[in-house]
C-alpha cells in the first residue's frame, strides 16, 4: 500500500507530465550526443537555450526554466538517459522537478512543490497545480500521461 504522500506525488507527477508532453517530445528531437556533451562539459547555457526554445512553443514566457543542472546515464549497449533539473513557476505554484529523457519516452520526478495560497487538502493542491499548468500553456495539452508520470 502506498503512503498518502506518495499517492499525491504520483498524481502531481502525472499532471505535470501531461502538461509537459510536448516539451519532452521537442527536447527528444535534439541529438542525444549534443545533450550529453553539453552536460559533461557543463555548457548549461546551451541547454538553457534549447529548453527555452522547446518551451516557448507551448508555454507562456518564464513558466518553465532549466535549473542549470543535469546528468547522463550512458552505458555500453544501452540507450542514453538524460536528466535535466527544471522548474515550473506560474501563479502561486512552484515545482522543482527532474525531466528524464530516454530514447522512446520521458518521465517526471518532482523534488519539491510549493503552493503560495495552498490548501490543507492535498487533492485541492493537486487541482491548483493542474489549473496552473493549464493556465500557463499557450494551448490545451492534448495527451494524458500514464499513472507513473511517464510520457510517451
Cα 21 from Cα 140, distance rounded (Å): 11
Please give the residue range of the domain that contains residue 49: 4-151
Domain count for the chain: 1
For residue 3, name the pLDDT band (cuts at 50, 70, 90): very low
Instruction: Give residue-wise pLDDT tens across range 52-62.
Output: 999 999 999 99
Cα 58 from Cα 51, distance rounded (Å): 11
Tell me what percent of the residues of the chain surpass a pLDDT of 70.
88
* pLDDT tops 60 at residue 115: yes
What pairs with residue 59 in β-bridges? 137
Quick one: pLDDT at residue 6?
81
Residue 19 CA to chain centroid, in angstroms? 8
What would the grid cell of residue 22 be?
510536448
Average pLDDT over residues 117-125: 86
Quick one: pLDDT at residue 24?
95
Cα 82 from Cα 99, distance rounded (Å): 8
Quick one: pLDDT at residue 104?
85
Amino acid at each position: 500500500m502506498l503512503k498518502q504522500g506518495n499517492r499525491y506525488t504520483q498524481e502531481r507527477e502525472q499532471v505535470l507530465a501531461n502538461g509537459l508532453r510536448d516539451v519532452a517530445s521537442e527536447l527528444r528531437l535534439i541529438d542525444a550526443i549534443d545533450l550529453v556533451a553539453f552536460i559533461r562539459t557543463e555548457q548549461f547555457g546551451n541547454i538553457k537555450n534549447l529548453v527555452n526554445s522547446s518551451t516557448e512553443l507551448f508555454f507562456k514566457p518564464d513558466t518553465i526554466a532549466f535549473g542549470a543542472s543535469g546528468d547522463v546515464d550512458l552505458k555500453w549497449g544501452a540507450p542514453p538517459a538524460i536528466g535535466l533539473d527544471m522548474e515550473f513557476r506560474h501563479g502561486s505554484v512552484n515545482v522543482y522537478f527532474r525531466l528524464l529523457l530516454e530514447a522512446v519516452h520521458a518521465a517526471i520526478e518532482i523534488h519539491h512543490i510549493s503552493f503560495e495560497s495552498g490548501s490543507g487538502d492535498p487533492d485541492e493542491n493537486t487541482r491548483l497545480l493542474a489549473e496552473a499548468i493549464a493556465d500557463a500553456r499557450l494551448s490545451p495539452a492534448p495527451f494524458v500521461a500514464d499513472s507513473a508520470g511517464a510520457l510517451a
